[in-house]
Amino acid sequence: MNIKIQSIKFDADKKLVDFINKKVSKIEKFFDNIVKVEVYLRLENTQELENKVVEIRIDVPGSGLFAERKAKSFEEAVDGCIDAIKAQIQRHKDRLRGN
């Protein structure tokens, strides 16, 4: 599985990149035909506390999965995205089985 992390208009520190790699690599337990994963990190220019945005795009054969979350920290947003992606993977697997 190819994981690509892009931080838009800032440099993500090694600790954050390692955290994302660890979390995203766990998705492979749920679906083994993942082609690639793209993670986009960006800061919104607002006064709100929840200004960290994470988008995760996953390419699987026959489909693409996408989740976006906004939170106070990138770690919290990544966790939210991972939960959403897990649910999407389950629905995708059900569709493949014909349920």
Tens-place pLDDT, residues 22-50:
999 999 888 888 999 999 999 988 778 88
For residues 81 and 94, give the distance between their C-alpha atoms in angstroms, rounded to a whole number. 20
pLDDT lower than 50: segments of the chain: none
> Does the reported pTM lie above 0.95?
no
- b/e map 16-40, b = 16+ CB within 10 Å: bbebbeebbeebeeebeebeebbbe
Q: Rounded to a whole number, what is the largest CA-CA distance in the chain?
A: 46
pLDDT of residue 99: 61
